[in-house]
Structure 1
Amino acid sequence: MMIFLIILFLSAGRAGAEEVAIENSFKHSFTPHSTVSARTGEWGSVALQRTPGTNRKTSALMSSLTAVVIPRLEIGTALLLHTSPYHNSNFNVKVNFFRSDLMNWALSYSNILWRPPYYDTGTSIIYEKLKIESLSLVTNIQPEGSLWSYGVSTTFSSTYVEVEGLPFKFTEEAQPEYNLDISYEWSGREDITLGLGMLRDQGLTAFEKTRFGFGVSYALYRPQKLFSKPTVGLHYTPDVGSFLWSFATTFY
């Protein structure tokens, strides 16, 4: 936690950067709804964003605090999980392995390990070990001179389980998730993004059913402010008739 606070302080010192650099940064900063942004920020930049491997239907409280530790490499952790007595560790990594003015590609990986024994009140199962892993591939396409940009992603998740009283271990593979975002630059500093996709019910384990959903997110760019790009969204899942809100932001 202290490391992230230090990096946040350092990023505040960069708030006096030239306006041209700020505008170029915003131009390349895709506003996601169902997907994630493939482009990482500059060194030392900090953000609160959806944890890689979770999805648009995961509670906003599960967001990660992330930091760019070296160019194109972003690491983070879901802070809320650290408050659980069953939590052992969690981390996520995103690598922006291809970058151009037109397109960005990234791979992200997340790992959540629960401390044994973990008791599932819904099934009365005691897990000796419960590990959740996810791998996502995402691309953002932002044509030069166009107000439109696009995001596509797919996520593969698995849950590794050891159950008390059973002699075997197993890994459950989730159905792949597919997402599409279409973003429009409403004004020089505002984005509106429409997104849809096939997502797991909670985006936390491999045992969940995949359902279709859609929604919208709005982002406002505020250069040199603490919350420099706050983004709010609302997502609807027709099968269960549920809405879920989201919040993300970059800092300075």
Structure 2
Amino acid sequence: MQNPNLNPSAISPELPPVPRQQLHDTVVDHLRRFIVEGVLEAGRKLNERELCETLGISRTPLREALKVLAAEGLIEISPNRGASVSKMSEAELRETFELMSGLEAFSGELACERITAAEIAEIRALHDAMLACRAQNDLAGYYSRNQAIHDKINEAARNPALRQIYVTVNRRLQALRFRSNFETAKWDRAIHEHEEMLEALDARDGKRLATILRQHLLAKRDAVLRIGDTPSAQGQIGN
């Protein structure tokens, strides 16, 4: 059963105009966040004028940012139809989560061989902050810390080739990983799985951590498939 308090429209970011300094990266980050949190849902045609007004920018930096997101697979740009948010087919969703589960598992195995005590302490601090967000029903805050934990495990693997593939694939799944927590039971189960991840890291048990991470990602896939095409934050920007 979905928690009615987890309506994505309630977590729409309220953003000030983008500062000129580091404008390009800032615009990309804001648009990526809009996509991840469902403010711009999959399949949505983008209205450049309204996005420019929302972000306080001109069309030139917006279009440059859209090209970056298109290269990441988050945006589709058509010469005749403009830009829209990419939408995965069910088959593509299944295949990509399956791939990601393998990347996460391999990251966990290598991390257990190479992670430092200081890095584990950082992950534990993020876990505690994640629990605080859950207690406040703050899905956006929870998700950002959740992803930071997975990132740090991947970074602790100390394999640049793996890191590059991981980041590329994960960007395409972030919005779906975010949506997987719309089910309250799934959200709470994910927290328990994160506690098990910490135990495996402390024990440097690579095989156990790999198994937990693989199952964790496949559970996210299954949650997304159950949710299906539940409406997200339609109407937040340019509806």
Q: Under a length normalisation based on structure 1, what TM-score does the superposition of the two structures give?
A: 0.23
Greater relative contact order, per chain length (Cα 8 Å cut-off, separation 6+): 2
Q: Under a length normalisation based on structure 2, what TM-score does the superposition of the two structures give?
A: 0.24
Higher strand share: 1
